[in-house]
Amino acid sequence: MVVQNRQNELMKLVMCVLTMGLLNMFLTMYRPSRATIVFSFLMFMSLILGIGEIVCAQQLVLPIHDQPTIQVIVNASTWKTRGRLLYDIEGSILKKLSLAGFQAIHDTKKPHQYQLVVQYEEERGEQYGVELWGTKINTTFFLRGAGMAESKSWEIHETSTNLVSGPAPYLDALLKFETHPHYFFLGAMLERMTKGVSSQPDALRQAVTEFVLLVYPTIDEAIPQDGVRIEDHFMDNSGRVYQEVALQRALDELVHQEISNDQLVPIAERLLKSMDPYSRLRAVQVLGKIQNDAIRKKINKLAKDDPHHAVRQAAKQFLPL
């Protein structure tokens, strides 16, 4: 950066000297009017200032080649009679990758470091009415690229449920798909797998750990039982709306994987600060198994002060008799 600045200053100085020489020659040979002299001087100053602005603009540009490049291939199909997807699966994936710092490449001829192939299928599910069916979502992910010891692949299968008071079956299937840990945290997981994390459960654990550090506060505070907060009254994007369900499912997923309880402590502790009682309940069920004085104090506080009955009852189960 210092060398580049010196080169720019040198170029600016050379341009000034050449322009001054040409201006002096012009004034000596042609003896122009005063108005012409003023105009020429203004043009000279504009040129110098313009060079300075160009140099500054060049220094502020972030080179796009610094981002890891990934070729994204999405093959999508649906059982709907018109064959048209209502869900923008490709756009959703591209957004997740962009937020994780990737540069998506569509042209197969352009060089790229990684390749992600996604097979997304919406199949017709069980019939729940006259000419009305549910939806099954089957998705396969395949990742490979430079620096990876081996390629990675995983699948997601979600089936809609015909609920009387819940969302329509198709929307129910989409909700389950959106909140699946291996899709909700897709970008962050890929970012870690492309940097050498070979275990998919470890990639998910690291992604969730970083996510809860950003989402929940770092200081201990009582869970509000009453009152109005500004952040409770603005329009959320789908990621924020689904994050509590996704975190609960991620914790369930990690519990069933070969992840020790000690590694889950940072995630569960953050979930204790969640406004969702079911997130706090799930966190208590994980932390209650940890033999730690600091955690035991938090469990004891929840058993007394948590506003939700189910959370208090769950916490009491882990208190000493």
Which DSSP state fits 273?
A: T
Between 136-150, 197-211, 239-253, the lowest mean confidence (pLDDT) is in: 239-253
> Residue 90 is encoded by which pair of tokens?
């490709």
Which has the higher per-residue pLDDT, 273 or 189? 189
Work out whether strand 103-105 and strand 114-129 pair parallel, antiparallel, or are unpaired: unpaired
295, pLDDT greater than 70: yes
Which segment of 63-72, 197-206, 259-268 scores lowest on mean pLDDT?
A: 63-72
**What's the rounded Cα separation, in Å, for the pair 44 and 26?**
13
By mean pLDDT, which of 19-23, 110-114, 197-201 is the weakest?
A: 19-23
Residues near 139 by beta carbon (within 8 Å), at least 6 away in sequence: 118, 119, 120, 121, 155, 156, 157, 177, 183
Sorted by sequence, the CB contacts under 8 Å of residue 5 that are 6+ apart come out as 59
Q: Determine the 3-state secondary structure of 31 from DSSP.
A: coil
pLDDT tens digits, residue range 34-52? Answer: 555 544 555 555 554 444 4
Band the pLDDT of 67: cuts 50, 70, 90. Answer: confident
Supply the pLDDT for residue 127.
85
Rg (CA), the chain: 30
Task: Assign 74 a pLDDT band (cuts: 50, 70, 90).
Answer: very high
The four Cα atoms 179, 184, 189, 194 give a dihedral, to 10 degrees, of 130
Least confident of 5-19, 96-110, 178-192, 232-246: 5-19
E strand map for the chain = 69-78, 103-105, 114-129, 132-145, 152-159
Instruction: Take residue 182 and report the two structure tokens written for it.
Output: 């291996």
Round the average pLDDT of the chain to a whole number and report it. 78
* Strands of 103-105's sheet in order across: 103-105, 69-78, 114-129, 132-145, 152-159
Distances (CA, A) of 22 to 19, 36, 38, 139, 174: 5, 14, 15, 69, 70
In angstroms, the CA 189 to CA 102 distance is 12
By C-alpha distance, which of 318, 228, 317, 240 is closest to 276? 240
For residue range 311-320, what is the model confidence (pLDDT) as tens digits? 999 999 988 7
Q: Which of 289, 285, 284 lies closest to 301 in space, CA to CA?
A: 284
Residue 249, φ and ψ in degrees, nearest 5 = -70, -35
Structure tokens at 249: 């499912």
Could you read off the pLDDT of 197-225 as tens digits, one per residue?
Answer: 888 899 999 999 999 888 775 544 444 44
> What is this structure's pTM?
0.70
Report the C-alpha gap between 151 and 117 in whole angstroms: 11
Distances from the Cα of 189 to the Cα of 80, 90, 91, 182, 240, angstroms = 31, 17, 18, 8, 18
* For range 157-174, the mean pLDDT: 82
One DSSP character per residue, 67-82 reads SPEEEEEEEEEE-STT
Contacts of 188 (CB under 8 A, 6+ apart): 100, 206, 207, 210, 211
